[in-house]
Amino acid sequence: MPTHTDAPLLILKIGGSLFSDKSRPGSLDEKAFDALVRLVADLHQAHRGRLLLVTGGGAFGHGALRGLDPGDPFAPLPFVDATAGVRWRWVTRLTDRGVRALPLQLGAFSRVDPGDPTGIAACAEPLASLLAAGVLPVLSGDCLIRPDGALEAFSSDRTPEVLIRALGAARVVMLTDVPGLLTGGPGSDRVLGFVDALDPAPAYAHVWKESEWDVSGAMQGKLDALVACARQGADCFIMRGRPDAVDLRVLLTPPAEWPASTPRTRVALPSKEIP
């Protein structure tokens, strides 16, 4: 398995829906969570120093963002603590499995920067050092400061944008509860294979409104985020996450070799489209 520096940097985002029911406060599916921890631990051992984990907030993150006062520029503050709790949960479980993992607060090394083409300023300290030392950085959504002093709730879907801004291009895999961008609406099983990050409008036609308890914009938020990542040169995928998978090591192989039986939506620059 690749552990050298030529191996792709892999940002693995695990959707909160895979271990928590957003509509139920405090919900955590212990069995699914433990299975996901095992998969991440295995992937880290196979790809040490090239893997970053981004966890969704599930019920914890969404709960902290519901019903905010739109007139209070600091209203999202509770999201800082809620996401820290989810990161720490991952770190303690990963530590139990022998993984050296460190939680990192996104808002402590990045900020909103409207003057930058990506809209973000971020530094590589100490992300790059953690990776060089073979430690798994564990990230999540967080609040980022804006130039006007307001806090912006930055969802875990957008966290890869910050990591790429800090570290450079990467492969981004978002594991969620659907197999990709569905072209037939809810319940459909037809998945859009490719989204051209320079011309994503056709893909947006397939995005529909999610439930009212979902504050992340769900698929639209994912698409926005991955288009932004791809425009920074990243190769991005939305796939269904399966806690009962044997392992996730296929994600380390060239995407052209991934089994055709595994649906996914790829979001990338047009040069990456497979004819």
Interacting residue ranges for its own copies, rule: CB under 8 A = 74, 77, 80-81, 84, 88, 91, 95, 100, 102-111, 121-123, 125-126, 129-130, 132-135, 143-149, 151
Judged by beta carbon, residue 132 or residue 250, the one nearer its own copies is 132
Judged by beta carbon, residue 154 or residue 237, the one nearer its own copies is 154
Is 161 within 8 Å of 228 (Cβ atoms)?
Answer: yes
Buried b (16+ CB within 10 A) or exposed e, 103-116: bbebbebbbbbeee
For the CB of residue 126, give the shortest distance to its own copies in the complex, in Å.
Answer: 4
Question: Is residue 233 packed enough to be buried (19+ CB in 10 Å), middle (13-18) or exposed (0-12)?
Answer: middle
Question: Is residue 128 packed enough to be buried (19+ CB in 10 Å), middle (13-18) or exposed (0-12)?
Answer: middle
For the CB of residue 77, give the shortest distance to its own copies in the complex, in Å.
Answer: 7
For the CB of residue 247, give the shortest distance to its own copies in the complex, in Å.
Answer: 24
Provide DSSP, 219-260. Answer: HHHHHHHHHHHHHTT-EEEEEE--TT-S--GGGGS-GGGS-T
Question: In this structure, what token pair is assigned to residue 268?
Answer: 């990338």
Judged by beta carbon, residue 133 or residue 250, the one nearer its own copies is 133
Judged by beta carbon, residue 105 or residue 220, the one nearer its own copies is 105
For the CB of residue 162, give the shortest distance to its own copies in the complex, in Å.
Answer: 10
For the CB of residue 100, give the shortest distance to its own copies in the complex, in Å.
Answer: 5
Length, in residues, of the chain: 275
CA angle 52/58/60 to nearest 5° reads 110
Unique residue bearing structure tokens 């829906």: 17
126 upstream amide cis, omega within 30 of 0? yes
C-alpha distance from residue 138 to each of 71, 88, 103, 146, 250 (Å): 32, 9, 5, 23, 21
Judged by beta carbon, residue 4 or residue 212, the one nearer its own copies is 4
Judged by beta carbon, residue 77 or residue 169, the one nearer its own copies is 77
For the CB of residue 120, give the shortest distance to its own copies in the complex, in Å.
Answer: 10
